[in-house]
Structure 1
Amino acid sequence: MARSQALMIEIATGDPRPISKQIADGVRMKIATGELQLGVQLPSVRGLAMQLTINPNTVAKAYAELTSEGWLEARQGLGLFVAPPRQRLSAHERDKRFDEAVSRFVHDVVALDIAADEVIARIDVELQAFATKKTA
């Protein structure tokens, strides 16, 4: 039987997002960038809870969200695995989440008083770095 891959996810206590959301976002990012590939088994709920020293219910909530969105698939008696890629969110939901993310980002950046061209250049660099990871 395949061993699960350790999840190197950081939980920030100062982050306004709930811990379950931080876990779900971290797993999504690892799948989207190719760090977690199709068919890779994730740690058990208890295993990840112990690794992160958090309540197993918090991990279970994150895993349930990822499973319902199609990022993970449960295999009876075996655990959770990275699911085959598909359109995981409707166009409306993608647009909604994108709008929310952009709004949060803009509100954070405006307070830093950074020129728009510098912000755009930095975003481009970050997106290129992710594109490189995804194709590697």
Structure 2
Amino acid sequence: MVSINKTSSKPYYEQLVLSIKEDIVNGILLAGDQIPSVREMAKTLLMNPNTVSKAYKVLETEQVLVTIKGKGTFVQETDSLPRDELRIQQLKERLKEFVIEARHLQLSMHEITEWLTIFEEELGGTQ
């Protein structure tokens, strides 16, 4: 379930965004599932509610979550959503930076591919 590493250099809200996405990828959270309110999540994770709110807003902007006034926040149904080409391009740029850094450290493409395979298996295989 959702977790935050308090010793990580990554901002808490970014960790929360990624953790919720990971729970969706792993099938822990499904389309239509309600997630805890900002206050409940903040209390559970011992975080500032503003930090949780920021993460939820990012996830709403990315159409991962949807908030229904008076009802709560839910995992968005994504099958009918168009691909987010801007975010895909940003991801490609980050991947290119990763490959440059990995090659600079003299890692082979085989090693990088092995890592990707391991990470994919950890997330439940291919889609």
Question: Hey, what's the Cα distance between the residues in 2 that align with 1:34 and 1:122?
Answer: 22
Q: Is the 8 A contact 1:49 1:56 kept in 2?
A: yes
The equivalent residue for 2:84 is: 90
Mapping for residues 26-105 of structure 1, pairs under 5 Å = 26-85=19-78, 86-87=80-81, 90-104=84-98
Deviations 1:82-130 (A, max 9, x none): 11114465213212123214524652x4576544323312321321342
Note the C-alpha offset of 1:74.
1.0
**TM value normalised by structure 1:** 0.76
Extract unaligned runs of 5+ from structure 1.
Answer: 1-7
The equivalent residue for 2:117 is: 124
Extract unaligned runs of 5+ from structure 2.
Answer: none
What's the secondary structure of 1:29's corresponding residue?
helix
The equivalent residue for 1:4 is: none
Deviations 1:2-29 (A, max 9, x none): xxxxxx2221233232111110111112
AA aligned opposite 2:28: E
Equivalent residues, number: 126
